[in-house]
Structure 1
């Protein structure tokens, strides 16, 4: 029997430090205690139902309540719940999943290093890059280029890579070898600059930074194809391919962080090649790889890189001393295999290709509301940006977005507020009625918040 909400909240407030909690008032903040879920609906301990507009955290791609996922997890746990994955040890699901991922990734990206999160996968990819250049006798290639508004994780290294200024707080961050380029958000361009000119400028910024640091000093450029939690920022057309070509020109490795865009969110298992026409050196995945049913991540590395530092090419005592207790976890890998099977069998990627344009078209109607500055996105990831005073995460804009979040939740929709932004990334099984309801709730919530602050309105 589930305890009542008040008792559970009391235990939570007394004992749990949540990710991204405001330590100044988190013990006074009311919590929503989610008790069960099915499809794209979650239910709290008071029986209130919500459309999960953010798929948990960009991850519950196949939706909740999948009995066959629970069965395969239980079956593997009974057969063998854990296996040491270090050295030459492996297990059946880990080996089978690696082979399947090799089929799904583009080009020669065939080598899987398992982790238990996206943060750890990015961290491991960067450690591999360091190991790679040190093994090649190029220890001076240490500099890493990333971008403002990027998010790559919350380890010491990956939090330093991330460029979301709202997230920077009282932690320490690595600064010696990490460099941030300005955001590739087209909305940030000067009024008299075209999209094509903006793209030219962003590509030039990368090349200029490589030349400034010295191509012999730059190890890699890491990029989300679409910047997810930084505000669903869709760079201008051609940006991804042109930045990739710059990296190739200067022998800089390209890491594509597909933790969000992978496993169907853009209608493909991986978007790097199919959507953006690049075959990077390393692809990062997590979240949707198991649809959140188990924690799992991976850095998937190209043959070209691995072959240069292994076998006859390996240096003496070339142990790759990076990994985790739960690397290649058999239950998590079994869940990933079943998740992939479901996505393929139910043609979920095709569904995303069909429903994604409808999702963005319906959301775009919100742009008629005066306080909505922009609606942007790509298939089933989107952002509604509201502006009350000046553009950006001002105190007024953040407070307004918080109102929208509260009103949405009161009316049955969970979204993700970030600064002045309202971010949406529903489970990939979302249907037209679910999208219509999401947009209706958002529209009513924005109008209510707008009316509260006496903002001029126009009919929509």
Structure 2
């Protein structure tokens, strides 16, 4: 699709670096998140120093197609000069002022109103944070406050799911159900119960999709009976699980889970940090794709396309009636962040949303997304490709040792890393997560780019099979 971006390589002199010195500074001082330090201490980082549209460039001048949108977030593509200009103009006019104590700013007010316009049903109230983890963390605090105000202080337990990802702040990490994420970390286990993930590929053998959905809903009902509805505050779920494997739910799953929650006075929270702002072809996927009306939606990432840190919690009118009622004389809603409704971040988000609407980016995803999924499925002929799954611009490939049994390769084979390395050699960055490879590209890919990407992946999987056999893993 036709878009307007800054040209990569045309970097202002003030942003040019001594790249060798910078690499060393990074290696010596930057603690990277989600990094294997056994590799980092040996090799350091790959410095990405420039970007333009669907491309990024490293410190050696190598140019890559960005297959992960930074980290699920650069939805409108890199180098959007008009977003940078909107941020600069706001920073020059007023970079920051508090939103505490009935103070506000123009971008925050405009963005809150715009999100209420875009959101499903009656989600007309917005609490701003600094990103997805903070949004999920703040949401649970507000949910507990809500039930305390209703005189139901025992409703504390949050139902999440195994292999869910909801962030890495203390509470958000506790919601997260990816076991390896919390190795050697503490979590608030007394507040969270993890249900089974919805994993169609690894459902019990011989079980139909409909029966599998029944099984998952029954587990929720049984868990409510076991814990007691009077002790459960909310169920939180990603419409499609992201970092946990891009797991598509069975047909009707979310709507049925919400029905059970409503019947038991349990709030339904949709974590749309990844799925929001066009990744599935709509600003929000909950209603448009999964036929649900969440009580709360959390978003971040694509909200600003990663141009500035920003998260938001969209809250229903019913919940706001309680949150917005004066607590007691002199009492305040004493939660929030210094940067809640940060004017520069909100200015970036407003311009980002304007671009998504003006360039019909959601429509592009709805047109190109099925083509991308169809083309990726042609990779199923490779020996290690067990499953190709996902929807639109949110997809994953699961690598296995044996397609018939779905047995995984040993961890030390690092199959996801191998595929990603082979793809990077050929000019494409994808994300390895254990035995998975994830694609979550900028939403401006067209069919020509899809064809190039799939050709690269075809070569990458072929080369990976050769190396796995050479090393005795196949």
State the shift of 1:233 in Å: 0.4
Q: Shift of residue 244 of structure 1? A: 0.6
Hey, what does 2:354 align to over in structure 1? 341
Alignment of 1:212-227 (within 5 A): 212-227=226-241
Equivalent-residue separation in structure 1 for 2:415 and 2:100 (angstroms):
50
1:141 pairs with 2:155:
yes
User: Aligned ranges for residues 357-436 of structure 1 at < 5 Å?
Assistant: 357-388=370-401, 391=406, 395-396=410-411, 399-436=414-451
SS at match of 2:306: coil
The TM-score, its normalising length taken from structure 2, stands at 0.93
Query: Which of structure 1's runs of 4+ aligned residues deviate more than 6 A?
Result: none
Q: Which residue of 2 aligns with 1:294?
A: 308
Deviation at 1:169, TM superposition (A): 1.6
Output aligned runs, 1:86-235, within 5 Å: 86-235=100-249
2:75 counterpart of 1:61:
yes
Shift of 1:393: 6.4
Distance of 2:17 and 2:344 partners within structure 1: 29
8 A Cα contact 1:397 1:419, kept in partner? no
Matched, 1:324 2:337: yes
After superposing the two structures, state which structure 1 stretch, 161-170 or 366-375, moved more: 161-170
Quick check: 1:23 aligned with 2:31?
A: no
Deviation at 1:182, TM superposition (A): 1.2
Aligned equivalent of 1:74 = 88
**Equivalent residues of 1:387, 1:397 under 8 A apart:** no
Secondary structure in structure 1 of the residue aligned to 2:469 = coil
Measured after TM superposition, the shift of residue 166 of structure 1 is 2.5
Q: Which secondary structure state, in structure 2, belongs to the residue aligned with residue 114 of structure 1?
A: strand
* Alignment partner, residue 270 of structure 2: 256
Mapped to 2, the partners of 1:333 and 1:408 lie a distance apart of 35
Q: Is the 8 A contact 1:117 1:286 kept in 2?
A: yes
Most deviating of 369-378 and 168-177: 168-177
Are the aligned partners of 1:309 and 1:315 in contact in 2 as well (CA < 8 Å)?
no
| Deviation readout 1:301-359 (Å, 9 max, x if unpaired) | 001111134336x4555421111111100011011111111111111111110000001
Distance 1:218 1:373, change over 3 A: same
Structure 1 unaligned runs (5+)?
Answer: 456-460
SS state at 2:147 partner: helix
Cα contact 2:155–2:232 (8 A) shared by 1: yes
Alpha-carbon displacement from aligned partner over 1:182-235 (angstroms, at most 9, x marks no partner):
111111211111111001101111111111100000000000000011111001
* Partner deviation per Cα, 1:377-435 (whole Å, 9 max, x = no partner): 11100001111267476534751221111111111111110010000000000111211
Equivalent pair of 1:408/1:441 in contact (CA under 8 Å): yes
What is residue 367 of structure 2 aligned with on the other side?
354
Contact 1:392 1:420 in 2 (8 A): no
Counterpart CA distance in 2 for 1:439 and 1:405 is: 13
Partner SS state of residue 375, structure 1: strand
Asked if 1:49 corresponds to 2:45, the answer is no
| DSSP 3-state at the match of 2:318 | helix
1:161-198 Cα shifts (integer Å, max 9, x gaps): 10112322211111112100111111121111111100
For residues 248 and 203 of structure 1, what CA distance do their matches in structure 2 show? 13
Q: Distance in 2 between matches of 1:42 and 1:25?
A: 22
Q: Corresponding residue for 1:446?
A: 461
Length-normalised TM-score, structure 1: 0.96
Are positions 1:237 and 2:241 aligned together? no
Q: How many residues align?
A: 454
Give the conservation status (yes or no) of the 8 Å contact 1:386–1:397: no
- Uncovered stretches (5+) of structure 2, i.e. residues with no partner: 1-12
